[in-house]
Structure 1
């Protein structure tokens, strides 16, 4: 199962030069809790540089007593080193890497390292739950077939 099949392809990106205020407004406008910090490399093509979460913004404001939200860029924030996955990678390998790095979201990239999607723990839980449901139904069907014989 390749991760590219399950990732969300509609990713909200923000340039490193955008302000914290603009990033927060993007999150609100798109009803998301994270943005991929990215540089544009072509029309609708982006190279991911990091992830900025709503939690990152709150911590930046609180810990630095930040008041100039429109003048401070998201690129100036201290964000975690970026960990990505290739769209052809196996779902379970991606889960293992997310666990290893203790991250909840991971940008998915193509062979050139350009952004194609994002996967979150919530997305993966849905995929796994659906597959477990299908597997449990198979066990139930097998029991019914055995009773018919």
Structure 2
């Protein structure tokens, strides 16, 4: 299993020079609280803008959301993971950086998706469920065989 297998391919993005108001409208339209900020058509993440960033950097300080740009409110140190990485690598990045979502990029840095802690939890839970089912089948098989057959008796 790779991060690229479990990430969401549809990612809400916004251009670096868009207004914060446009970003808030995009969040509302896409039903998300996080936008990946990109510059130009390259789809290389240059920042992250969250609804919390808008509240703290713009609304709480009284700045006009139409006049403020995404670049002025976004977080610039973007934590990302590569699509070929193991989900446990993504967990470590999330833990280290204190985030719940990571943009997923190809080797060339272009955005291909977004993975959340919930995505990883669901994927790992599904695998653990499969392991649990295998263990249960083994226990049933042992009970059906009885103690003599399980020990090699006949």
Calculate the TM-score normalised by the size of structure 1: 0.90
CA-CA distance at 1:65 after TM superposition: 2.1
Residue pair 2:27, 2:35 contacting (<8 A) in 1 also: yes
Match of 1:31 in 2: 31
Match of 1:120 in 2: 116
CA RMSD of aligned residues (A): 1.4
Please list the CA deviations of residues 93-143 of structure 1 after superposition, one character each: whole Å capped at 9, or x if unmatched: 111111111111111111111000111112111112212222211211111
Residue pairs, 1:58-137, within 5 angstroms? 58-66=55-63, 68-137=64-133
**Equivalent pairs, count:** 145
Calculate the TM-score normalised by the size of structure 2: 0.88
CA-CA distance at 1:147 after TM superposition: 1.1
Match of 2:150 in 1: none
SS of equivalent to 2:45 = strand
SS of equivalent to 1:116 = strand
Residue pair 2:50, 2:74 contacting (<8 A) in 1 also: no
Match of 2:21 in 1: 21
Question: Where in structure 1 are there 5+ consecutive unaligned residues?
Answer: none
Residue pair 2:16, 2:39 contacting (<8 A) in 1 also: yes
Relative to total residues, which structure has the larger strand share, 1 or 2? Answer: 1
CA-CA distance at 1:63 after TM superposition: 3.5
Which of the numbers 128, 141, 146 marks the counterpart of 2:142?
146
Question: Where in structure 2 are there 5+ consecutive unaligned residues?
Answer: 146-154
Please list the CA deviations of residues 51-86 of structure 1 after superposition, one character each: whole Å capped at 9, or x if unmatched: 1111111112344222x1111111111515111111
Between the aligned partners of 1:65 and 1:71, the Cα distance in structure 2 is: 11
